[in-house]
Structure 1
Amino acid sequence: MLVLLPPSETKATGGDGPPLDLDSLSSPELNPVRGKIADALTELARDVPASLAALGISERQADEVERNAELWTSPTLPALRRYTGVLYDALDITSFKKAELARANERLAVASALFGIARATDRIPAYRLSAGSTLPALGGLRPLWRPVLEPVFAAADGLVVDLRSGGYAALAKIPGAVTVRVVTEDARGQRKTVSHFNKAYKGKLAAVLASTGRAPSTVDGLVKVAAKAGLLVERTGEHELEMLTGE
């Protein structure tokens, strides 16, 4: 099973590993595009105003440009320790026991505008780049990623649970992947998509799927695993699920 997480704009600083080495990352067939984007980001970082505009950030976030300038030289962390924020707080891998962490390292991966996909243990530097960014030297990211990333996803073994946000889902399709919509239900039984608690609940689901003893191989099996953990998950289509927040 592969559980594909969305990345986060916020990332842990520093690291305890050597500088970025593309050859050490999973899915080496993605390395030509990874290298091209990384080089474009570091080159763009020489022009701070242009970087701010391309990345869609303000002058108060100029330190993000400095991170990009140091992509090839800064220390690295495993992907699951690099990304931070609401979803990763809910995932809470620091609470996993040894066996659970081993399962999580096998099952979890993060969608990335820079790396395409980063497996849990792939060591990556801090950086700033979003799926919707347009780099002056390369243009939009979708034409770069889609031809090479979709075959990687197509080759994934077992069930694929796609928790990516819309922008990252647009970078590459995953036919047959299970998608999850986080919803709330009013007194009349009408449901609406949740935005505030969306990341937290997806993080909780990812934690359950990552740590459970036997990975589910079917959609119905996934629903049963979630229910056993106390999550309200319902099947609404062949590959679609809704998770109720109870909020």
Structure 2
Amino acid sequence: KCHDHPFERWNTDNYYETAAYFGRVNLARDGKNSANQNIGGTAVEGAKPLYEIVTDAKEGEVTHELTGKVAEPDFPYEAKFAAKPDATRREQLAAWMTSPDNRYFALSYANRVWGYLTGTGLIEPIDDIRAGNPPTNPELLAYLTKEFTGSGFDIRKLMAEICKSRAYQLSIETNRWNADDGANYSHAKARRLPAEVLYDSVYAVTGAMPNIPGAVPGMRAAQIVDAQTDAKGGFLATLGRPPRESACECDRVNDMQLGSVMSLLSGPAVGDA
């Protein structure tokens, strides 16, 4: 947004030309919101309503902040796609993104699901897909991308393909030849559960009813939309749930620090369970 990438082909023009597809959008606060139900209060964009009504507008443009000119909508790279003649800008963008000819969408999604299931993406970090960051196994990523596209972007089939693989089913046990391997999937990667899953698991094991302040009694942590709603003692935030002010996967933390350990040992959320 602010400057051309120093090493890759992406530049500020690409940013504003893509942003122009969202120039003709109306956002209105949904009546479901209370006055203080906002997200992203500390983000650059400022606080946004938790629930919004999104509609298409007939007019609206995006101005290139560096040139002061109106940015015309354009795709970062060519891909064949079919869209109805009267398609809105967002419908055109959606058709382009999900086109079988789009070389990034299916690849990005296949890499993301592989990373979620195995703990390490074929391209790592999974958000950093660029020419200067090639996959560790390009043949495997190409295969998963082809299968995902050929299935009509069937997520369940993609997950089943990965879960039936030997790489996914390996034990976390290592030997003297692969103990230091963190990129080639010679053994499973031991990982901590995400904050929401960990909280729900504790209550599932004990049989207690979750009672998160500000949420309906019995609602699981994984069902909570508002990032400001947290379990007692700030359990979810302490265990690494991101504030959702950014789309970057790096905002979530799943490691074990002192605060995480203490929340699990003696925190009020676990105590109530």
TM-score w.r.t. length of structure 2: 0.29
Larger gyration radius, structure 1 or structure 2: 2
Which has the bigger relative contact order, CA under 8 A and spacing at least 6? 1
- Larger strand proportion of the pair: 1
TM-score w.r.t. length of structure 1: 0.32
- Larger helix proportion of the pair: 1
